[in-house]
Every structure is written in C-alpha cells, then in structure tokens.
C-alpha cells in the first residue's frame, strides 16, 4: 500500500491536549511551531521545521475564540503551502459556523460554506472533520472530505452502564433521529423516542411533544452539539414530566457557552457525556455531572489511513462490530 510519505502534525492554540494524545498514539512528536499575536491582535504563525514534501496535518478545532482559531488554521495552511508541503490536510475535530448552514430568512449568510471556501482557498488539499452539524456541509468543499463520527465512543461509555430492556435513546429534535438511531443500535439496539419542539429564536427552544414510550424508562438524550444546553435541559425536564426515571445526555461537541454549566447542574440530567473535540475550561472539568471521552484514537486511525491511502469507513465497521 502506497503512502504519502512522512507525517508532520502541527496545531494552533485550540486543543493542544487532544493533539498531544493523537501524536502519542501515532508515535510521533507535534511539529515545532507556534501561533501568537502581534500587539494589534493580528495572528502570527511560526513554523520552525521543514515541511518540504511532507504529508502535513494541521489539527485545529474552530471553537471559542472561534475567529482566532479559524484564522490560526487558515494562516498555518498558507504557511506550510508556501513552504512547499507535499500535501496539506486540515483536521478539524469541531467545525465552527456549522450551524449557519442554510438560509432560513431573507439576507442571511451561509457561513458554513464561506468557511469551507476559505479553507480551500488557503491551500488545504483535504479536510478531516467529525460530526458536522449538517451532513451537506461536506458538499460545500471542492476538495475531499473525510467525515468521522464520535457516536461509537459515546455509545461505548453507556454499554455497561444501562439495562437494555429499561433504556431508550432520545433525539432532542426531529433532525437528530438518524444520529440517535445509530447510537441506539450500538447500545444493545435499544428503542428510540423523539422530542418534537418549536424554536422561536436562536438558542431558545420550546418542547412540544414526546413521540415514543419513555414512561418508567431510563433515557439517554443524544445530540451533536450542545451550546448553552438550554435545549437539552428542557428536553430532560419534558422527559421527567412524561414519567422517565434516570436521564442521561451525550453529545459529540461540548461548546458549553454562556449559562451551559449552570443549566446542566440544575437539570434532571444525571450524567452528561461529551468528547474532547473541544478543549474545556476548569469549570467543566470540575463538574461532577460531566464526563469526557477521548476521540484521539479515532483521529490517529484516520490520519494513518489517509496517509496510507487506506479505508476510512473500515474504522467505523470495526467500531460498530466491536464487542
């Protein structure tokens, strides 16, 4: 099997712990480089080792501060392109602006597409990302996209913590049904339920109805992104009112901005499980309700397969069939 030569991994400031874990699994060191700011706030990138002809992977979540992390990614791509990197792979565990994926009212931008254009124009040859808010974002790129999922890692957390006949996976909205069904199939093929809601404005949701049997059952709410946690906490309250027993929640990306921690702590949710796609502040790390599972092995496997022209889908075939 041919490969693309020596792997070089660089990162900005968004999620250094995850990058270190990925490199440890790959048995390589993080490339020498830094991302800092000039006194006026402009981003300064310094790549301190050769990348000529190398297979370069820039790992950077575009999480808060979103614009700084995005600019670091773009400028790092430009830096290694101008240094004659053999191939440039943008590895984006969390893709910011993904929720602005379509026009829902007049004169709205489609920012997810704009960001895709910027990454492509900067010089990336390939993108590796995980659980995009909308699958069609893959089509916003004019370069290959490998779309990973953190669902197997979330499912694995619950495998030995639930009773199959007494647990139901719950989608907090109609759009997340496919994700929830995938999760449910991996957790002993438990049944699913759906929460139907109306969202009057951004970050505000109103629970309307629960579709499915949840009375007397333990429930696991499954989502892709949790930001202020208002939606998922209101969903937990609705489930409790409908007779659910224990309520858990999980999401691939824990944005957890604004009152998120307060909302989670004051909710009926017993445990909230997220991945390490986004670096978390101390308040999150110290919460007894929040558990973090690592997806470093997923990205390490993906990088190895991309480098060797291997199958990415095989990673998930293995994950879905793992006992």
For 127, the enclosing helix (H) or strand (E) is strand 126-130
Query: Which residue(s) pair with 85 in the sheet?
Result: 52
Q: How far apart are CA 270 and CA 232, in angstroms?
A: 13
Is there a contact between 120 and 287 (Cβ–Cβ < 8 Å)?
no
Is there a contact between 19 and 9 (Cβ–Cβ < 8 Å)?
yes
Indicate if 197 belongs to the active site: yes
Catalytic residue among 197, 234, 242, 271: 197
Q: How far apart are CA 241 and CA 100, in angstroms?
A: 32
Is there a contact between 212 and 191 (Cβ–Cβ < 8 Å)?
yes
Residue 246 DSSP label: S
Rounded CA Rg of the chain: 20
Tell me the H-state helices in the chain. Answer: 16-26, 66-82, 111-122, 151-158, 177-186, 230-241, 260-265, 282-285, 296-307, 313-321
Catalytic residue list: 197
């Amino acid at each position: 099997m041919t490969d693309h030569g020596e792997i070089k991994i660089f990162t900005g400031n968004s999620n250094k712990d995850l990058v270190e874990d990925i490199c440890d699994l790959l048995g390589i060191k993080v490339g020498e480089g830094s991302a800092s700011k000039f006194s006026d706030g402009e981003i300064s990138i310094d790549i301190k080792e050769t990348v000529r002809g190398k297979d370069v992977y820039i790992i950077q979540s575009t999480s808060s501060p979103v614009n700084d992390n995005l600019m670091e990614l773009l400028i790092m791509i430009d830096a290694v392109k101008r240094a004659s990197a053999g191939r440039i792979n943008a590895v984006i565990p969390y893709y910011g602006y993904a929720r602005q994926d379509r026009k829902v009212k007049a004169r709205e931008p489609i920012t997810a597409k704009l960001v895709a254009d910027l990454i492509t124009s900067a010089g990336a040859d390939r993108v590796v990302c995980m659980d995009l808010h909308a699958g069609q974002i893959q089509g916003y790129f004019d370069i290959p996209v490998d779309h990973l999922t953190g669902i197997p890692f979330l499912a694995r957390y619950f495998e030995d913590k639930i009773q199959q006949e007494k647990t139901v996976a719950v989608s907090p909205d109609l759009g997340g049904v496919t994700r929830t069904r995938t999760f449910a199939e991996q957790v002993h093929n438990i049944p699913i339920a759906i929460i139907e809601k109306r969202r009057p404005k951004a970050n505000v949701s109103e629970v309307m109805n629960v579709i499915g049997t949840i009375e007397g059952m333990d429930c696991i709410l499954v989502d892709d992104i949790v930001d202020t946690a208002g939606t998922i906490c209101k969903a937990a309250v609705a489930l409790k009112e409908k007779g659910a027993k224990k309520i858990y929640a999980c999401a691939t990306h824990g944005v957890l901005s604004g009152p998120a921690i307060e909302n989670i702590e004051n909710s009926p949710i017993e445990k909230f499980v997220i991945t390490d796609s986004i670096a978390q502040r101390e308040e999150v790390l110290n919460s007894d309700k929040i558990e973090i599972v690592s997806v470093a092995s997923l990205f390490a496997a993906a990088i190895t397969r991309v480098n060797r022209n291997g199958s990415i889908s095989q990673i998930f075939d293995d994950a879905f069939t793992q006992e």
